Chain A
Amino acid sequence: MSDAVLDSAVHHQTFTAIGQSMPRVEDYRLLTGTAKYLDDIEVPHALHATFVRSPYAHARIFRIQTDQAMAVPGVVAVVTGQDLARWTQPARMAPPIEGLFPMEMTTLPIDKVRFDGDPVACVVAADRYTAEDAAELVMVEYEVLPAVTDMFAAAEEGTPLVDETLSSNLVSHQTYAKGNVAGRFAEADVIVEATFSQHRQTHVPMETRGCVAVWDDGRQHLTFYIGTQVPHPMRTTLAARMGLKETQVNVISPDIGGAFGQKIALYREELTVAALARELHRPIRWREDRMENLRAASHAREDFVKTRAAVTKDGRILALHADLFSDFGAYSFFPANYMIRVVAMLLPGPYKIQDYSYEVKVALTNKCPAGPMRAPMAIASWVTEGTIDAVARKLKLDPVEVRRINMLKQDDLPYLTATTELYEDITPRETLDRAVHSFDYHVRRKEQERLRVQGKYRGIGICSVIESTTYGSEFYRKAGISGTGHEAAWVRIEPTGVVNASAGIMGSGQGYETVMTQAVADGLGCNPHDVAIHLGNTLLAPYGMGSRGSRGAVAGVGTTFLAAQQARIKVLAIAAHLLKLRSSKDLQLTDGQVVLETDGQWRPTGLNLRDIAQTAYLNPLALPDGMEPGIEAHVAYDPPAMTYSNSTHICEVEVHLDTGVISVGPYLVVEDAGTMLNPQLVEGQLLGATALGIGGVLFEHVVYDENGQNLTASLMDYLLPTAVETPEIQMIHMGTPNHRTPAGIKGMSEGGVMGAIGAVCNAVSDALSPLGIVVEQQPLSPSYIKSLVKKASKTAR
């Protein structure tokens, strides 16, 4: 891609399709039940796999007896970790990061199990019912070991080791300092401390994990159907672990019923199924059931942060120190410091804090492994804004004032943070002011006072969010993690003038096909109805890094936009030649028609995209000298290291002291996600993210008992919010374009989670402030709130 294309993409500001709430092109198939999710792909003669899982959190495997299971009619194979070790390579997680132990895991455990739900054997049978019958008959002899279930205890000396190749459960430990933190603390009028404890949660996509592996023995080729966010990285990993060349594997991702970060890694079950398909020469499918999904897929968010802020008496924050601790579970599917490091990186938030230090520790425990879940840095905004509220409480200042005193203004931009992140084109002060104003903040404060007299405890919570999006290659280099952040796309104009396009991203509900259609229509200048988008097949799509970290918009759609612009250059060059013009500079393609500017007016030329395509494919001799037939553009683009969206969440809650129940609402989000590709879809993402955050704060909780038994492995016990508990959310958009990205896109869809956690927690603390209560841990269950109220009233007495 030429610099000219990027330059024109960044500064090209007239859109006809981008910015419209175009109804989604995906919807028809989803609404009529004709979409194809993994289980809807029919594979003749496919066998069904199911897994035998450990009932213990930590135990040695002595013996696995499979003969009874094998005797069940319809059972084809029962295999264990020993078998898989012969057929596959172990996974090694060893990025060169100081303070991070390398970890390795076999495809299935061989010597010991490390959490309740760890897979120990795989049964393959004619159907799932039979496979489950047989799985009950696999006899595993265990020696139960003491379980490590608390991350703080895990890190202490003498605690049993989760991974016996390591010298400690403290798998990762780093420190960082910028500026003169100690000096600033010495200067401070006050030092304010606050603690924040977030509970373990899980993604719960409505479609659980699953895969179908089809091995073609003649071609020595594996077709692997899997709902994955990252088809190409999945292919690379799968091929490597199976000892295959990448040419021998195709990954096909059908429609995905939600992912939220749970569908990035190559999981052990999936690799097992792929390996078995090759060994047995039979297609095999696996569908995780819901209890397995809750117990053994991937968990997230179990983080603890303690902050210390050095503050002047008028509320200015001089320096910040944070201690972070994270529970990583039993295995390493990602670098152990990967997610909590981003929290530390973001903690200064939208505030001018150049003197900042942190210490990050990550511990292994006998619990389900952790992975990124929509907003892996979810706790960050609560910590930042909760610290600000703590400062306000200590100094008896209005929390809005403390924010204004410390917040970045337009004059401060571009701004290099204490963690060397570059903030540009963000509007934290503007979203805050707009939120405070639109929410009638001061009126509500008075009302709050009035109601307190009547025994009603209302609180207002504010949370400003700096949302990291895009994650370009430079981010990975800085983080020391292998991987890149570039993306690739192709746009192909077919002989009839219709357009096929593809990119490496893979959607799981975001509406990529729609926004990519819009981007192609504007980048090229054609009618959106003539565009078709093809995602998720690694033989069809260009190698890209897939969908994670809110990179779909800038990296995925941005790259597609660039490819469409590239194609347009060729279309117009052909048009100029056919019109016998010396250059194409006065030509434009609009809605598929070639128009010519004369005397400041765009006039039809009589040529359209179909004419150009016909020429390019069917009459190449009519093309300009030396031009290749056909019209295909292939573009790779490495976006900025990071782009930032920002927002302010503000909400009111009422805490019912007697029941401990919290009602949330009204709830307002003022957001600046840059150029909105499709406002309706942006709102959809924001609503979903905010609801996920609220649900996480109030309801969702993975609970383990002291022996490491998962107590919440059904949807009756792991509580997702329903339509009744989810409040109505109002939204205001600002739309400040990013000046470095195609079309000014920023990306979004995780900030809603971050903002909701902070806003709701801060509001509850505000409501309970007359009782001297500050919520320091989630979830804010009625039981927890009641206990706080009881404790406070005892103290008062």
Chain B
Amino acid sequence: MNEVPVTLWVNGQTYAVRVSPRKLLSDVIREDIGLTGTHVGCEHGVCGACTVWVDDRPTRSCLMFAIQAEGHAVTTIEALAQHGQLNVLQQALHEEHGLQCGFCTPGIVMTMEAYLHEHPNPTVDDIRDALSGNLCRCTGYQNIVAGVQKAARVFAQNSSGATSAAGNESTHLSEGGREYV
């Protein structure tokens, strides 16, 4: 019904879909494009599970209509790990047990990855403040904070602030998986 053609640019690829203008970006990413790593937790902008990047800015995809994303670059969780290797933040969350059921995890990774780009030396309070827009019911947040701190230390060591997949310039850091500290 009242569907219109919409062209989206997601994770570097073009997708031409037909959707109703009222269809939320979160639903189109999941149902029409088939990238189901973006999770829908509340549909009123509180839980943060659906966070993606629009033009590299973390954005609630449940608070945007897909049609609004036309002409903008959308990045989802699926783009972060490359060649089967977790990126620095993902790896740190894995090592620090910063996830349990994992439903909130993609939103947290997308939020904190962007945050660390912009704030390379966050304090624990900064991290908790930035994380406060993502609800997690399993972990009590403590290990997520530890994971983000660990990733920040790795970024600092890389000094360039590189946040790309561990498979690229930071390969040496992820060998063996756990020798960051």
Task: Identify the A interface with B (CB < 8 A).
Answer: 23-24, 26-37, 39-40, 42, 73-74, 129-130, 204-208, 255-260, 287, 289-290, 508-511, 680-681, 683-684, 687-692, 714-716, 720, 722-724, 726, 728-729
Contacts and interface: CB of A to CB of B under 8 A. Distances in A.
B142 A260 contact: no
B86 A258 contact: no
B170 interface: no
B145 A723 contact: yes
B97 to A, nearest CB: 5
Given A27-B94, A207-B101, A32 B81 contact: yes
Contacts of A509: 100-102, 138
B81 A692 contact: no
B1 A32 contact: no
Contacts of B135: 206, 715, 720, 722
Given A31-B90, A42-B34, A723-B131, 19 more contacts: A23-B178, A30-B101, A30-B102, A31-B94, A31-B105, A32-B81, A40-B36, A206-B39, A206-B101, A257-B101, A258-B100, A259-B101, A290-B41, A680-B97, A683-B143, A687-B142, A688-B138, A715-B44, A720-B135
Given A23-B177, A31-B81, A724-B132, A206 B139 contact: no
A206 B41 contact: yes
**Chain A facing B: main interface SS:** loop
A490 to B, nearest CB: 25
A290 B97 contact: no
Contacts of A257: 39, 41, 101-104
A204 B42 CA distance: 10
Interface of B: 1, 20, 22-23, 30, 34-44, 46-47, 49, 76-78, 80-81, 86, 90, 93-95, 97, 99-106, 109, 127-129, 131-145, 177-178
Given A260-B137, A684-B100, A692-B140, A715 B42 contact: yes
Contacts of A205: 101, 103, 137
A666 to B, nearest CB: 13
Given A33-B35, A39-B30, A688-B138, A722 B100 contact: no
B44 A716 contact: yes
Given A687-B143, A722-B135, A290 B43 contact: yes
Contacts of A720: 135, 137
Contacts of B129: 723-724
B169 to A, nearest CB: 20
Given A31-B93, A723-B132, A691 B105 contact: no
Contacts of A208: 41
Contacts of B86: 28, 31-32
6 contacts: A23-B97, A31-B94, A33-B77, A42-B34, A687-B143, A714-B44
A714 B47 CA distance: 11
B64 to A, nearest CB: 16
A33 B109 CA distance: 10
A508 B101 CA distance: 6
A37 B103 contact: yes
**Chain B facing A: main interface SS:** loop
B141 A723 contact: yes
Contacts of A42: 34
Contacts of A206: 39, 41, 47, 49, 101, 103-104, 135-138
A129 B1 CA distance: 10
B140 A691 contact: yes
Nearest to A722: B132
A728 to B, nearest CB: 6
Contacts of A716: 44, 46
Given A73-B1, A715-B47, A722-B131, A27 B99 contact: yes
A23 to B, nearest CB: 6
Contact of B38 (A23, A31, A33, A290): A33
Contact of A290 (B39, B44, B138): B44
Contacts of A30: 99, 101-102, 105
Q: Quick one: which of A31, A257, A290, A684 has the most chain B CB within 10 A?
A: A31
Contacts of B97: 23-24, 680-681, 683-684
Nearest to B91: A31
Given A27-B94, A31-B90, A33-B77, A715 B46 contact: yes
A683 B139 CA distance: 10
Contacts of A508: 101
A723 B144 contact: yes
| In the complex, the 8 A-B pairs of residues with the closest C-beta atoms, listed nearest first | A33-B37, A691-B140, A257-B103, A30-B102, A509-B101, A509-B100, A33-B77, A40-B36
A33 B106 contact: yes
Q: Quick one: which of A204, A256, A257, A511 has the most chain B CB within 10 A?
A: A257
A691 B144 CA distance: 13
B40 A39 contact: yes
A26 B128 contact: no
